Every structure is written in C-alpha cells, then in structure tokens.
Chains A and B, each alone.
Chain A
Amino acid sequence: MKLSLPKRKSKQAEPAVADGDAEAAAAEPGPSRSEKRARKIAAGKHHSAEGGKDVAGWVDSRTNSTGIYTALLARHVPKGTNWFYTLGSATMFIFAMQAITGVFLAMYYTPSTTQAYASITHLTNDVFMGEFVRGMHKWGSSLMIILIFLHMGRTFFFGAYKYPRELNWVIGVVLLVLTTVMGLTGYLLPFDQRSLWATVVANNITASGPVVGPYLADFLRAGPEVGATTLSRFYALHMMLIPGLIAALIGAHLFLVVKLGTTAPPWVKATRPKGALGEETVPAGVPSPDDAEVPVGQAAASEPTPEETPVSEPAADPADAGGPDAGNAGEEPADPGAEPADDGEASA
C-alpha cells in the first residue's frame, strides 16, 4: 500500500549537469577535457560544473554567500539614513577590538592573586607595545559603554524600538547589562588596590539586594569574602562566559536587523497609495498581511508573485503551510521596499 504524496518540484541534478557539460564542451573544445569531465561526472566529482569557474563561485554555489552579502551589505535602507545609524556597527567594532586585544592580553596575564599584579606590570612596562594593547582594551571598555548608550539613544529617539523591533530592543538591553558585567569582572583583573576595593564595594551593593542579593554576592566572590577564588572566577566570567553570550546575542541582534530592516528617521514622512490597508485592518486568515500593503513606489502590487499561488487555495495540511514556501510568501515582497512605509507610519 502506498500513499501518493503531492509531487514537489525537486531540482533534478541531471539536466543542470548536462547543461554545464554542454557549455563547457562548447567553450573549451578538446576531447581530452571533455573526457576528463565525463570521467569526473561518472565518479560523482562534477560539482564544479554547477558552481562557476572561480573559487567565489564554488563557495557561492554551496553557501549562497551572494545572498548573505546582499542581505547584509546590499539591502535596501530607508531614505534619510544618516551617521547616527553607524553607532551599532561602531559598538560591534569595539567589541571585536576588545575580543582581539583581550585574547592577546591573556597571553601575558596570570589570573593568580600572587602573580596577577606582577603580570600586569610586566605586560605594561616590559612587553613590546604592551601598554598600547592594554590601553586599547582599557579605554575601549569605556568607549563601548558610551557607544552603547548613544546607539540606545538613537534607537529610542528615532522610535526604532517599536513594532516589529521590540525583541531587538530587549536583546539590546541584555547586551547592555552583559557589557556592564564585563566591565565589573574586568576591573578586578589587574588586582591592585583600586580593583580589589571596587570589587568589594560592587559585591556589597550586590549583596544589598533583598532575598537573592546575599546569595548572588556569595556566588560572585565564591564565598563570604573576596578571596583568591574570586579572581579566577571573575577571570573565567570575563574571558569565556560573558563574551560568548555577547557574541551569540550580537548574532541574534544582527539577524533581526537584517530581517526586519532599518527604521526610517521620524522626519521622513511615509507615503502610502490610496486604499492601501494598514497592518491592523488586514483580515485574519490572510497568510501574508504585508502583501496587502503595497510597497511605496514599487511595482510589486501588479506583479503576480509565484508565492501567491498557494495563498489562493487553502493549504491542505497545517504542517505544509508552515513550510519554507509560507515563509517566503510572507517575507519576500515586503522585505526591502515596504520598510520605509511601515516605519513612517508607525512613528508619524
């Protein structure tokens, strides 16, 4: 007994190979090359026939790196985008700088209560460029906090935290907190008097939070007093745990930026074709509400997109409706062009 499945459009390998083979044969006549190719195809090593002739093409055919490039660097941005929009990238650059300088500082630093300060003075005074690298790390930490707040201010005053970007705001706040935790844990590492007492005070402040505060402080300093284990604990948090979390959350932050697009500045007024529906007035059940509001100045309204076809006929299986086709239908027409219209409306 066999259930007949709906037939899917599967990319057949054979025609593509045949085309590539024919092209190659036409471009480069010579029995020896085509023989080699035929042998390659027979051996299953014929992928270069699909991918183009250079390394970039080979990589692209396997990773869609052109698509990634387009999404990241060649995406549409709204009118009025200005220098304030670079603050997030600047913050990310500083994070990368902190990560790089931190790795190299770790080559000389010893997280031990008896050797930490000596290793820092050695690093600063004796190692070639040590003072410079340590200075970049030290001043970069302050700069990162400043840039985060400027970036946050831009997001707030441009209204860029509003729908659908609330989650990105939340991720950003978590990143802010994690960055301050980096500042706290990094401050102890030189282990001079200032480091130690700043950490003591920070732990006392932590402990003064009700109910969980005393235990949280005990966790941070690994006991009732700041001691030898506190330093290695702060070092591990500063080196491994928090940077990993920050990097992962930056990835999520960027993903949402690319997916949702950039917000137009509030002074850029949106224009909307007459009769176009707002987001809230789209009746339920339409799978892609963004289809209804046509991108401003785009011809996408009149073009029938291939994704519209499954919309007209109701999906047979809920599992199928959630497949990649449905995702494309909702996303693709609205992605670049519709963004200025949305945001202009939201902030106006």
Chain B
Amino acid sequence: MSDSKNNNSPAEEPPRVTLPEAEPRGYFEGESMTRRKVFTAASLALGGVASMAVVLPVVGFAVAPLFERGRERWVAVGRLDDFKPDTYKQVVFTETPGIGEVGKTTAYVRQGSAEFDEDPGEYLAISTRCAHLGCPVRFVQAAKNFICPCHGGVYDFEGKRIGGPPVRPLDRFQTRIRNNHVEVGPRYSVTNQLKAVRARDPGEFTGGIWEYLYPPRPSTYPPPSN
C-alpha cells in the first residue's frame, strides 16, 4: 500500500506474479501453519504464561488457609474434682483467639463413667454447638438431655441425637489432665456410633458414605484414637 502510485495509474500496472494455488488457501506448499497462526498462538501462550504467573500465586494465597492448621490450643477448664460422672458442668473457654468475646465457646464437661458411657474415657467435653445449624444447646438436668432451642434438636446424656433435625451427635473436645486440672483441646466430631472423626461443620453427616460426601478438611485436627 505504500507505493500507491503504481496502483493509481493502470497503464503502469506491474506484471502480476501468480503463485501456485495453495491448498488449503492461504497456506504455502508444505506448510502446516501460517505465519499469522504461529504468532497468534505464541502471543496467546505468552499472555497465558504471564497471567498464570500472577493468578496462581494469588489464588494459592487465598486458598492457603484450607491447608493450614492453627496452633493446637489446650485450655484448663477446672480442677479434676470439679467434674462428676453423673452430671455436666458448664465451662467457657476461648476456642478462636483474636476476635474477642465471640471467639469463646461453651462446653459441658463431666467425668467418664462405665454407668453412662459405652466407651468411658477419663473426661468428656461436649460442645454446645448443635449439629443441625450451630445453635447453642443447653443441658437440662431434669431430663438429662441436651436440648436445642432453635429447632428442637434433642441429644441424650452421651450427646447422641435422639430427636429433632440434627444429623449427628454433638461434637466433642479432646481432654487431657495436666497439673491436677482438666484441659480441653481441639474439637472433633463423632459418628452415630461415637467413633471419633475430624471436626465437621454443623449440618454435615458423619460416618459411612458421608465421609466422602462431607470429606474431612485438612484445616481440622486428626481425631483422638479410640
């Protein structure tokens, strides 16, 4: 197009050079890609590499908490003789640090006993987080049941669901004894047979095929072996 004076005057039209007909059109013989296609593909590939160099670290940055486990916290909640085998004592401790009052949670703690437990441990700490939608359950001494005020979930003395919409027993906290005190540690969930599994959020079933539909998360602690 630069030498437009040639085209303007038809008398001086240069002799046209006819190339051999390419098949498919636009390709020279033996070519598998046109120059344009090569450059298009190269530009897209380079742009993709450059974009990924930005996007991948950022996405990794954002999803990293899925694979991080917070520091394991153990909190002393009372002396050994504060807790009886036949009733629960309510304790309040900080489960999530750094967010003030709302990081606290409530648990019901008692001594394990062969009379009430199928598999008695030393001490038992039951989370008040309802397995339905997470409302706080209350232990009713007269009925020896845990009752959720929101939607009527009922759990027995061991925390097993006996009524209402919850999908699994109440969560528990690991317990240990240090310096004549009971300490509570990471949360874990249990199946209907009270087998310990990694902590689940409320509303998630445990055990059987549910272990695959609601898979354990790497951000939670492994359950205690029992």
CB distance from A127 to the nearest CB of B (A): 24
Residue of B nearest to A207 (CB): B201
CB of A193 closer than 8 Å to a CB of B: yes
Q: Is B224 an interface residue (CB 8 A)?
A: no
Contact A2 B14 (CB under 8 A): yes
Instruction: Indicate if the CB atoms of B95 and A317 lie closer than 8 Å.
Output: no
Contact with A along B1-43 (1 / 0, CB 8 A): 1000001000000101101000001100000000000000000
A223 CA to B7 CA, complexed, in Å: 71
Question: Is the pair B26, A317 in contact by a Cβ cutoff of 8 Å?
Answer: yes
- Chain B residues closer than 8 Å to A8, beta-carbon distance: 1
Q: Is B52 an interface residue (CB 8 A)?
A: no
The answer to whether B62 and A210 touch across the interface, beta carbons within 8 angstroms, is no
| B203 close to A204 (CB less than 8 A) | yes
> Considering only CB atoms and an 8 Å cut-off, how many residues of chain B contact the other chain?
36
Interface string of B96-125 (1 = CB under 8 A from A): 101110110000000000000000000000
Q: Are A201 and B63 in contact (CB under 8 A)?
A: no
Known: A204-B203, A226-B96. A211 touches B215 (CB 8 A): yes
Q: Which residues of chain A are near B62, meaning CB under 8 Å?
A: 219
The smallest beta-carbon distance between B8 and chain A, in angstroms, is 9
CA distance in complex: A228, B100 (Å): 9
Total residues of chain A contacting the partner, CB 8 A: 38
Chain B residues with CB below 8 A from A215, complex form: 66, 217
| Contact partner, A113, options B63, B65, B95, B98, Cβ 8 Å | B98
- Contact A228 B99, beta carbon cutoff 8 Å: yes
Residues on the A chain within 8 Å of B68, using CB: 223
**Does A205 make an interface contact (CB < 8 A)?**
yes
B134 contacts A201, CB within 8 Å? yes
Q: Does A4 belong to the interface (CB within 8 Å)?
A: yes
Do B133 and A201 have beta carbons less than 8 Å apart?
yes
- List residues of chain B with CB within 8 A of the CB of A113: 98-100
Asked whether B65 lies within 8 Å of A214 as measured between CB atoms, the reply is: no
Q: Is A225 an interface residue (CB 8 A)?
A: yes
CA distance A227 to B66 in the complex (A): 14
Chain B nearest Cβ from A52, distance in angstroms: 29
Known: A4-B16, A203-B201, A211-B215. A227 touches B25 (CB 8 A): no
Out of B16, B102, B214, name the residue touching A214 (CB < 8 Å): B214
Say yes or no: is A218 at the interface (Cβ < 8 Å to chain B).
yes
B200 pairs with A196, CB closer than 8 A: no
* Beta-carbon contact of A219 and B96 below 8 Å: no
Contact B26 A225 (CB under 8 A): no
Given A223-B219, A229-B65, verify A214-B1 contact (CB < 8 Å). Answer: no
Q: How far is the CB of A314 from chain B (nearest CB, A)?
A: 13
Docked complex Cα distance between A339 and B134 (Å): 53
Bound-state Cα–Cα, A10 to B220, Å: 68
Residues of A within 8 A of B201 (CB): 203-204, 207-208, 214, 217
| B98 in contact with A228 (CB, 8 Å) | yes
Contacts of B1 in A (CB 8 A): 5, 8, 10
A3 to B14, CA, bound (A): 10
**Is A268 an interface residue when CB atoms closer than 8 A count as contact?**
no
Question: Which A residues, 82 to 125, have Cβ-Cβ distances below 8 Å to chain B?
Answer: 113-114
Is B213 interfacial (CB 8 A cutoff)? yes
Distance in Å from the Cβ of B198 to the closest Cβ of chain A? 9
Within 8 Å by CB of B25, from A114, A225, A317, lies A317
Contact B217 A224 (CB under 8 A): yes
Q: Chain A's nearest CB lies how many Å from the CB of B58?
A: 11
What residues of B have a CB within 8 angstroms of the CB of A348 in the complex? none
Q: Is the CB of A222 within 8 A of B65?
A: yes
Q: Indicate whether A218 sits within 8 Å of B217 (C-beta atoms), given known contacts A203-B201, A204-B203, A229-B65.
A: yes
- In A173-231, which residues have CB < 8 Å from any B CB? 193, 196, 200-201, 203-205, 207-208, 210-211, 213-215, 217-219, 222-229, 231
Cβ 8 A contact of A227, one of B19, B103, B199, B203: B103
Judged by a CB distance under 8 angstroms, whether B70 is at the interface is yes
Kindly list chain B residues whose C-beta atoms are within 8 Å of the C-beta of A228: 98-99
Interface pair A211/B70, CB less than 8 Å apart = no
A1-B17, A214-B215, A218-B219 known; A7-B203 Cβ under 8 A: no
**8 Å CB contact of A223 from B14, B70, B100, B212:** B70
User: How far, in whole Å, are A204 and B130 apart by their CA atoms in the complex?
Assistant: 11
When the two chains form their complex, are residues A114 and B217 in contact, meaning their CB atoms are under 8 A apart? no
Asked whether any CB of chain B lies closer than 8 Å to the CB of A284, the reply is: no
Tell me the complex Cα distance, A196–B201, Å: 16
Among all A-B residue pairs, the 9 with the closest Cβ atoms: A208-B203, A207-B201, A222-B65, A228-B98, A210-B213, A113-B99, A224-B219, A225-B96, A218-B66
List 17 additional A-B contacts (Cβ < 8 Å) besides A223-B219, A228-B98. Answer: A2-B17, A4-B7, A113-B99, A204-B201, A208-B203, A211-B213, A214-B201, A214-B217, A218-B65, A218-B66, A224-B70, A224-B199, A225-B96, A227-B98, A228-B99, A229-B65, A317-B25
Question: Could you list some 6 contacts between A and B, CB below 8 A?
Answer: A4-B14, A8-B1, A193-B102, A205-B203, A211-B212, A226-B99
